[in-house]
Amino acid sequence: MFYSIFNLSDMFIGHFGIGLGAKKINPKISLGTLFLAAQFLDLLWPSFILLGWEHLKIVPGITKLTPLKFTDFPISHSLFMALIWGGGFGFVYFLIKRNFSGSILLGLIVVSHWALDLFVHIRDLPLFPGSDIYFGFGLWNHKLVAIVLEALIFIIGLAFYLKSTKALNKIGKYGFWGLILFLVLIYISNLFGSPPPNVKAIAWAGELQWIFIIWAYWIDKNRVIKENAAVNMK
C-alpha cells in the first residue's frame, strides 16, 4: 500500500487538459496562466481548509473513486462563488495585460472547473454559500466512465496544445513531456494509492499544485506558437 501525494478532490488531469486545449484558442496566454485558471478553485480550497474556512473528511467507501467527503466548501466550490472567482480572475488579467478576449477566456476556464466537477462529484457542490441546494451527477460512483471522460479531456487538450506550439529547445521539448508524464503518474497514483493519512496532509498536498503552475510558465518560455516557429528559431 502506498499513499498518493496528490490525492485531490475531483478531476485532476481533466482540468489541466482544459488549460492545454485553451492554448489553441488564445496562444498569447502563457500555459502557466491557463493552468492557474483551470485549477484556481482547487488552489483555493487547500488554503481554506488549512484556515478552517472549509471542511473535508476522509470516508473510505463514500464513492467508488475517492474517499473524500466535502462537508462544506462553498467559498471555493459553490456555483455562485465560481462565477465570482472567474469574473475576478478575468478582470485582474485584463488590468495587467489589457487583453479583453484573453480575460473572457480565462474567466470561463475558471468556471469550467466547477462545470467539470459537476459531472464527477456526488451532491456536494452548493449553489451559493449558505444554500441547501447541492449539485453533482456522481460519476465517482461509475469509476470507468469517470476515468475515460477525464482521460479524453486530457488527451484532446494535449492534442490541441501540440498542434498550436512547438519547442524552441530541449527545455521546451523534454521539460514539457516531463510535466505531462508527471501529471499522468500522479493521476494513476490517485487511482490506485491510498489517500494521505489526514485532512491536513491532503490540504498541504493540494498546495503543491503550484509546482505545476510554475513548471508550465517555465515551459511556455521555451515553446513558441507554430506559425511563429521559423522566425523564433533563426
pLDDT of residue 66: 84
- In the predicted model, is pLDDT for residue 170 greater than 80? yes
Tens digit of each residue's pLDDT (9 = 90 or more) over 32-91:
999 999 999 999 999 999 999 999 998 888 888 888 889 999 999 999 999 999 999 999
Sequence ranges of the domains in the chain:
13-225
Strands (E), the chain: 55-58, 68-72, 125-126, 134-135, 165-167, 223-225
CB count in 10 Å sphere of residue 149:
17
Residue written as cell 487511482? 191
pLDDT band at 190 (very low <50, low <70, confident <90, very high): confident
Distance CA 82, CA 176 (A): 29
Tens digit of each residue's pLDDT (9 = 90 or more) over 101-150:
999 999 999 999 999 999 999 999 999 999 999 999 999 999 899 999 99
Report the percent of the chain where pLDDT is more than 70: 91
pLDDT of residue 3: 44
Distance CA 145, CA 118 (A): 14
